[in-house]
Amino acid sequence: MAWYDVISTPVGDVFVGGSARGVHRIEFVRDHRNGAPGHYDVAHWTARVEGDAGQPAAHDAEAARGAIEELREYFAGARDVFTFALTPVGSDWQRAVWRELETIPYGTTTTYGAIARKLGRPNASRAVGASVGRNPIAIVVPCHRVVGGDGTLTGYAGGLDRKRWLLDHEWSTAARGGARASAVLVAAG
């Protein structure tokens, strides 16, 4: 059975969902009912995890514990990369872009054009941008580290305020040093 949990963070609640294969989704929860934090309908995110995993999903804090603990460490400034398996579902091109995102060092940024050039498609900046925008694993697959060609902050599915916060958090954490581990991207369909 697939699983999910929700973590409260300094930038809002975050949905974490996966299965025995690994984490499929880490997404900012934006659909609050009555504007009350912590009160939302998780059906949208649960359905997405069920689609990714190909099986029903249920709230399971124990199954999500490892990923949740590492996210808490990240927000506390004690972790700058992650150790849990990632299984994002997307096209071959999307997964290639997402793998490239994982190579962006903590506390640094790159551009859509630079990623396109690294992937051997120098004219594919917009295609890179579209794939970055569809990244289902926020924070861990660090799409927030991608900026416009002139260095300005550009679109972020979680909102530009969150993008700015994440970058500022990483820059300040990197300036004082942080723990290291490694993420594992598992090939998924």
Give the residue ranges of DSSP H helices in the chain: 43-53, 61-75, 92-101, 112-118, 125-133, 160-176
Interatomic CA distance for residues 63 and 25, integer angstroms = 14
What's the rounded Cα separation, in Å, for the pair 104 and 109? 7
d(Cα 165, Cα 72) in Å, to the nearest integer?
Answer: 15
Indicate if 85 belongs to the active site: no
Distance of CA 50 to the CA centre of its chain: 18
Q: Which of 143, 166, 183, 185 is catalytic?
A: 143
Tallying the residues shown for the chain, one arrives at 189
Burial 135-144 (b: 16+ CB within 10 A, else e): bbbbbbbbbb
Identify whether the C-beta of residue 119 lies closer than 8 Å to the C-beta of residue 96.
Answer: yes
Report yes or no: 166 and 80 within 8 Å, Cβ to Cβ: no
First-last CA distance in the chain: 18
Q: Catalytic residues, which ones? A: 143
